[in-house]
Chains A and B, each alone.
Chain A
Amino acid sequence: MGWRDSARDLRVPVVLKVLAATLGLGILVLAVLASPTLSLSRSQHTVGEREMVRITGPTGRTIEALALIDTGASTSSLDTALARDLGFDLARAPKVTVASALGREERPVVDAAVQLAGRSFVTKVNVNSRAKRETPVLLGRQDVQGLQVAVGKRLLTRPDAAVAPSAVRILFSKAPSIDAVSLMALLPLAALLIVLLRVVVGLNTLGTFSPVLLALAYAQSGLPLGLVLTAVMFALGFVVQPLLRRLHLPRVARLGVLIGVVTTGLIGAQLALGSADLADAWGTTLPVVVTAIITERLWEQWDLDGVRAAAVGAALTVGAAILVALLMLTPHVRHIAETVPLQLAIVCAVWTAIVGTYRGLRLTELLRFTPAARSQGATS
């Protein structure tokens, strides 16, 4: 696929571009290899503050759940509902008196088989209601002896092995997994992917970088819940839009009302589902303003180009968001973002600039201009 440049075009020689791109890769590889935290992160003995664990009860039933690794607590505890699911007989279990900030409390104690970061052990855990807590399981220091806890990190291991879980696993685990510093470093990478999708592939999403913000929400809340909530927001926006149009509100006011509607939907979902971790994950990460703007764009596209174009636009936006989320949660990518955030950000900016100089046809344009190219090829 050749393309001709006009004489005025300031051209960066291709050789230079390739050189800059490989140089970036080299810098990243070197930085990761030379990173002082490398040995720590790769150590068999490091876990994050939140990890997925597998717990097996007396009936042999095993459940995977998110655990808070809390070295400030001595013993471990388990949520009552989860314990019942696992088949523990709480009525006949021996009781232990636990002193907490709320006073003294009698709790049943059970023997559970726990699997964390490739280690299996049987331990005594007390059972109480953790429905209002962030995680259904808490592991105290007696059960994590010999492990280092990396402050601020999450989901560094799988229950059955001391390796990072795959992107798909995290995306379905409903556990916020990206800490703030890595997040900052991952944003330029996500932006690079979006630029690739737009400039080289030719995907047109609703709003330029809205998929990135949706992806962050999906990564923190888990995909199933994220998709359902996105659909609910779109539907709510759609119900309200015609009303707003009839009122002839200016665009600012329309968006303002939409933000109110989206927020109402969020709070409503939280109250209906009654789950505290939803508030934690979505309350802080769901881009409310962006969702309002996406809904507005969706409606505009529906108005201008019809239902199909709008549906395609929405599907592409959510699809791009899932792609971005998968990229950001890939073990190697997370590792790079955690060890060399600065270098990653700089190299991504350079790569994005290089991708931006692409002037050829976008992949989707190969499809779009097929009739013209065919007739041109036949006549010239």
Chain B
Amino acid sequence: MIRLRGWDAMLGMNRRNARISQENPAEAIRLVNNKYATKQALTAAGAPTSPTLALLRSRREIAALDWDGLPDCWALKPNQGLGGSGIMLSFGHGRGGWRSSSGRPVTRQMVDDQLRRILDGEYSPLPSDWALFEPLIRAHPDLARLSHQGLPDIRVICVGDEPRLAMLRLPTRFSGGRANLHQRAIGAAVDLGTGRITHALVGKEATGTHPDTGERLIGAAVPYWPRVLDAASRCAPATGLRYLGADIVVDADRGPLILEVNARPGLQIQNVTGHGLMTTGTRTRRR
């Protein structure tokens, strides 16, 4: 028998969409689709983000770019990219320029081509886009230990400035370094009160350890947890969204940084945490 009490708490796609269209103003959605503007708004609200090293809006600006001013490690992103596409990373100085995470050379020519593709809007819903250089984010050792390559991040669902549910997304060998649950990255429920992992899912199966590294997940703590929650709770006032998913990473040196604010966060977090988003959140919230 299906327990009606449990189903009552589940937020479905229909209600989520209605909620988004009612609670998230169009200008706020437009803002969070623009990474550069979002970062400025977050910084103004005192929320931590990764700084912009260079903003390129035209081919003339590419030509005028001060390449020597870039650090050895950087991330190149489209300003309005969808689903993490179009990102290029440099992990340090290498032959002919820089090197990728696997050590392969990244030449100036390759970066030039990528910049032009980004500006031509190849990774964006619009016909043209801007490109951003940011300092490379390196995962905090406590989180890097739990993950197979890639960058683990924390998804926090907030209603207004109040965090409701949180999960840690850990890339696996199968997910190819991406923290995408559809591609079988691990989704680990994080207790809002303690910042510790209570249980974890790979696909639909529960797991206690990371399938690639064998590292024990249950009980592991997210470093700087109060600061992570504080960063998440600043997203709503900064962006104007009232229902949002904040994607937060914990950098080895700089601590928690907001990577992205999502106006249409997915619903899989309900399965990961075992909590519905329809509940008022009194039970899960112990701050």
Contacts and interface: CB of A to CB of B under 8 A. Distances in A.
Given A371-B204, A375-B6, A378-B6, A360 B274 contact: no
Contacts of B117: 248
B270 interface: yes
Interface string A365-379: 110111111111111
Interface in A128-157: none
Contact of B271 (A304, A358, A368): A368
A376 B13 contact: no
B18 A380 contact: no
Given A8-B23, A248-B122, A306-B183, A374 B3 contact: yes
Given A248-B122, A362-B12, A376 B182 contact: no
B10 A376 contact: yes
A246 B5 CA distance: 51
B184 to A, nearest CB: 9
B7 interface: yes
Nearest to B6: A377
A359 B15 contact: yes
Nearest to A374: B6
A304 B120 contact: no
Contact of B14 (A6, A358, A371): A358
Contacts of B7: 1, 361, 366, 369, 373, 377
Interface string B1-30: 011111111101111001100110000000
A380 B5 CA distance: 8
A340 B208 CA distance: 62
Given A360-B14, A369-B10, A372-B271, A304 B4 contact: no
A2 B8 contact: yes
Contacts of A318: none
Contacts of B120: 250
B12 A250 contact: no
A379 B274 contact: yes
B12 A376 contact: no
Given A248-B122, A379-B274, A304 B14 contact: no
26 contacts: A1-B7, A3-B12, A6-B19, A8-B23, A9-B18, A9-B22, A250-B120, A359-B15, A360-B15, A361-B10, A362-B13, A362-B14, A365-B12, A366-B7, A368-B271, A369-B12, A369-B267, A372-B275, A372-B276, A373-B3, A373-B7, A373-B10, A376-B9, A378-B3, A380-B6, A380-B283
Interface of B: 2-10, 12-15, 18-19, 22-23, 83, 117, 120-122, 182-183, 201, 204, 267, 270-271, 273-276, 278-279, 283
Interface of A: 1-4, 6, 8-9, 199, 202, 248, 250, 304-306, 309, 358-362, 365-366, 368-380
